[in-house]
A and B are shown apart, each in its own frame.
Chain A
Amino acid sequence: MKEKFNSIKTESFRKIILDFIFPCHRNDTFSVYGNLLVRLLTKKTNQYKTEEEFSNALIENYVMDFSLSKSNCGENWFYMYRFIIADNAILKDSQYDYQKTLSFIMDTIYNPYALSDSFYKEEVENAKNRLSVYIESGFKNINSYANIRMEELVDDCHYFSDSIYQHKKDIHKVTSKELYSYYKEIIGSKKPLVFAYGNIEDSFADLLKKSFGESRECSSYIPYQIRPFLPREEVNLVEETGTYNQSILKFVYKIKDYKQEDEVYFSLLRFLLSSQSTRILQEFLRDRDKLVYTASSDYNVCHGLFIIHAQIYREKYEVAKQTIFEIIKRLQDVSFLSPKIESIKERKRINLERQKDSFPSLIADFRMKYFQTGYPLNEEYEILKKITPEEFVDFVKRLKLDTIYYLEGSKDE
């Protein structure tokens, strides 16, 4: 059984980060609910009934930053309350009482601005309006729109079916009472998984552990597993036009016989294409062919997707496509790859040193290990060190081009 309370005690940083994670199973039906909650639960509580009062209370309780987010992890959603509080060993404020701050935190989580069995209708309406504007903005922004379309086009397994962009029409159906029931089921009646980072004294850790009471059940989650897409036979080529200045070109690959261990190869591929050490995309698309200001790559480790993204000028579309095909071909050339792979190994080694100064890296590594969603940096490096160019080429050969998406900008500068 995984530990529910986890802390990383370090004096290298000057603040304390407290993450309270409430996992639940992904369910399309509740996609809108979750997106409404993160807009609703961060502004007021029953104790601090206005945004001004709540904002003042955050500062009075030495909370430097507060957020609530929703993210995906395998078959789970994670609702995460993050409180960044001052470290009193640095601040040295005699008024600062950790117990009082923890009480405030508990109140924020478990005493939201609500009636006994419902949120206030007006608050829910406001959250719905904000969510609607957010969704509409996503459709109008070129980068966001291109990502939405790309997900729609590649998703033959409906893995992205809980995306909020597919549930816009469900927003108005949610009632204040149903939303509150959902909150109660997922958060209000549960104990979270707690992650505390920073100069955590034992007394503070004890306080944290005792804060949640015995009546609440522990949150549970489905252990992480990859859910890979299966490659399709035919390449899906989709070309659209929009009223933008720039054009966007995306190549999306799925992986034959994808397994979790492939993550290290994904990371290597992305570094080869996009890192400053080898910058293959920039070398070909920008330096040599003058096609882009920027090109990048990314991957989805849960579903086995690899994406190349380039922002181009419309007259260069055909040339850009051919250049990307050429790049993928070169990635199967051992003599081309060998020095570059060695360069990436060196970069990763050096990054292990650099990351010691990074609080976000420390946190990401710890969580990855806890949820077994991937390899922490030092473990990844140990695996990467042993990869040969030939093994990497074997991986590249398993990439199957699934979708080419082109969004042409029709506007002239």
Chain B
Amino acid sequence: MNKKRIHKVLDNGLNIYFYPDQNKHSVFIGFMVKYGAFHSDFIVDGQEFHMRNGMAHLLEHLLFEKNRYGNFAQIFGERGMQTNATTSTFMTDFYVDAVEEVDFALEHLIKGISNPIFTKEDIEVTKPPIYQEIRMRNDEIGRTVYKSQTKNMLKNYTYIDGLGTIEDVESFTYEQVKLCYDTFYRPKNEILFIAGNFDVDTMYKKIQDIYSSISVKEISFSFLKKEEPKEVACHYEKVEMPISKDFVSVCYKVDFSKYSSRKRRMLSCYIDLFLEMHFSSISSLYKELVEKKVIDYAISYDYDYFEDYLLVKVSNYTNEEEVFVDRVREVFEKERNFKEEVFRLDLQMMRMSNLCSDMSLYGLFRQFHLNYSYYDYDDLNTAEDLQTLNFEDFKKFIGGLEFKEYLVTKITDVKN
């Protein structure tokens, strides 16, 4: 895939990123809005607003299913296109992938989102499937752990997850939905990502023509940033749900305020390497815990960014909660096992993955989305990015992180 980016900006402030590739057989159009699940607190024209969880997600469903053309799934689906929408922590995305009738896809996606016509009734009929989605996700272990972590680690934020509760979604009024739409769905707050087989100049001209018929009302807004303390709200939570064996997750809250969004992109590689060296199946901790029969499976690990904080989590199935938690904490807080050979090999793997992977157009979009929403970086990853990484910087960076504030979440079976 040709990863060469062409960036243009419309007069109305819309940023457009083109990744043309004549070897592909379709065109992928991603419409990204810089408004996501986390953005519950904001100021519009000097006035503060505080929304319950789930608004961005409700708005996504509404615009996808009840736009002026109908339901995108039907409109695009009838033409053999693939389409969907997702709400993530910091952005909402709508996309369509078209082999034919690309102009149709482009115009209907943009106008459908930018010229809404939803009514009170539309909002109410959109809600019941969301209630069912909430019930479905509440049966997932991963989501249950995630909710425990955001709830207990972000003291001053009301964010728990993007779906909200049924009560949250039930409470949303037409006025609230309209306020959020009018505030955040502005060209200056949106991005178009277009990849695949197309001509850039022709496509750019089409986008300009489409937006010439869309009027934009200027609104001044900002997201309300809260003073979030380093401390967590509590250190332990137990949740009951059907599960074969206890699932235990240890999550640390790490102050990341001194690192800009851009810097975080490369530092994330160091975090990945740190977690692999200390918790993956090549780590001494893993070997030790398997030998002692504390765990059977590979340890899972992950991390997330929320404003000034990094949440790093390590989890596994175990009946030896105390042993698992104590050892994981020791590794985070005291033990360091830096292996230069592993560092070198992991960089080699990253390089191979970057050069030799066959990412779909959707995969490229996801990578762009991740880079933009977490790192304020408006491009795809390249193998050259890895050249800045080195072992000494890695050790110094990890050594400078303070792992102190933590939460243990235990998922246990309902009968226990």
Contacts and interface: CB of A to CB of B under 8 A. Distances in A.
A357 B24 contact: yes
B74 interface: yes
A311 B136 contact: yes
B132 A14 contact: no
A290 to B, nearest CB: 4
Given A276-B77, A279-B73, A293-B136, A51 B281 contact: yes
Interface in B222-268: 241-245
Nearest to A143: B139
Contacts of A175: none
Contact of A245 (B83, B136, B360): B136
Report, nearest first, the 8 A-B pairs whose CB atoms are least far apart: A276-B77, A136-B244, A350-B80, A52-B282, A293-B133, A293-B132, A290-B128, A245-B135
Nearest to A65: B353
Interface string B361-399: 100000000000000000000000000000000000000
Interface residues of A, number: 65
Interface stretch (A30-38, A53-61, A386-394, A397-405): A53-61
A347 B80 contact: yes
Interface in A257-316: 275-279, 282-283, 286-287, 290-294, 311-313
15 contacts: A52-B282, A52-B342, A86-B356, A91-B355, A126-B296, A133-B317, A140-B243, A243-B242, A276-B82, A279-B77, A287-B65, A291-B132, A293-B133, A358-B360, A409-B139
Interface string A339-361: 00001001101110110111100
Nearest to B282: A52
B132 A313 contact: yes
A64 B353 contact: yes
A111 B81 CA distance: 48
Given A277-B80, A293-B129, A14 B345 contact: no
Contacts of A358: 360
Interface string B122-144: 00010011111111101100000
Contact of A292 (B23, B132, B134, B293): B132
A313 B139 CA distance: 13
A78 interface: no
A176 B158 CA distance: 53
Interface of B: 23-26, 65, 71, 73-74, 76-83, 97, 99-100, 125, 128-136, 138-139, 165-166, 241-245, 280-283, 286-287, 290, 293, 296-297, 317, 341-342, 345-346, 348-349, 351-353, 355-358, 360-361, 413-414
Given A51-B281, A130-B296, A346-B80, A244 B139 contact: yes
B99 A354 contact: yes
A1 to B, nearest CB: 33
A289 to B, nearest CB: 9
B245 A312 contact: no
Given A90-B356, A133-B244, A139-B244, A59 B349 contact: yes
A245 B129 CA distance: 14
Contacts of A130: 296-297
B129 A15 contact: no
A86 B351 CA distance: 10
Nearest to B293: A129
A396 B349 CA distance: 50
A353 B25 contact: yes
Contacts of B130: 293
Given A350-B80, A357-B24, A413-B166, A59 B345 contact: yes
Contacts of A12: 23
A223 interface: no
Given A52-B282, A413-B134, A413-B165, A137 B244 contact: yes
A22 interface: no
Nearest to B133: A293
Contacts of B166: 413
Contacts of A55: 280-282
